[in-house]
């Protein structure tokens, strides 16, 4: 009995039936589609994580540069009555490549659609927004803005 079953499973006479071939192709296609969906989901999560990391880095740099929101957050700025001082607050922009707060934005860099900053979601497509850093009276405010909102 065992030997007959072994021969049946390993016999080249029968081969793969058309039904089995369709099932195999269907399973392979389903696995491929499932793999693509998982990859796309992972890419979205990584992009969102990169935006969150940019916000956290901008906040850390602003805290260090401005003495926790007391003075100007722009790197290498002496503070006081500097050109970044507007209406009792200091305004700078986070530069994603140099990881510094600069006076003029260098480009847009959000990697995900509708990025978040400090528990607030901003509407915008990927690669269309930048981070503005505002310090005022010991507070630091960070928000995603479009280049049209730069003053």
Residue with tokens 């998982």: 38
Among candidate residues 146, 148, 103, 151, the one with its CA nearest the CA of residue 127? 146
Chain segment 65-94, per-residue pLDDT in tens:
888 888 889 998 876 678 888 888 899 999
Provide the token pair at 136.
């005022």
134: left (phi over 0), alpha (psi -120 to 50) or beta: beta
Q: Please indicate whether residue 45 or residue 100 has the higher confidence score (pLDDT).
A: 100
**Whole-model pTM?**
0.71
Beta bridge partners of 142: 133
| E-only strand ranges, the chain | 85-86, 89-95, 100-102, 116-117, 120-121, 130-136, 139-145
- Find the radius of gyration of the CA atoms of the chain: 28
Chain segment 88-124, per-residue pLDDT in tens:
889 999 998 898 999 998 888 888 888 887 778 888 8
């Amino acid at each position: 009995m065992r030997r007959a079953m072994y021969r049946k499973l390993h016999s080249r006479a029968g081969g793969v039936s058309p039904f089995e071939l369709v099932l195999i192709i269907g399973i392979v296609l389903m696995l491929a589609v499932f793999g693509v969906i998982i990859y796309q989901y992972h890419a979205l999560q990584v992009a969102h994580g990169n935006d969150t990391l940019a916000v956290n880095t901008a906040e850390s740099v602003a805290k260090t540069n401005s003495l926790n929101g007391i003075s100007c957050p722009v790197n290498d700025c002496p503070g006081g009555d500097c050109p970044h001082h507007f209406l009792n607050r200091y305004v700078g922009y986070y530069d994603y490549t140099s990881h510094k707060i600069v006076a003029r934005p260098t480009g847009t860099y959000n990697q995900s659609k509708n990025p978040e900053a400090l528990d607030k979601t901003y509407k915008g497509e990927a690669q269309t927004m930048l981070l503005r850093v505002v310090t005022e009276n010991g507070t630091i405010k960070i928000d995603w803005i479009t280049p049209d909102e730069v003053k």
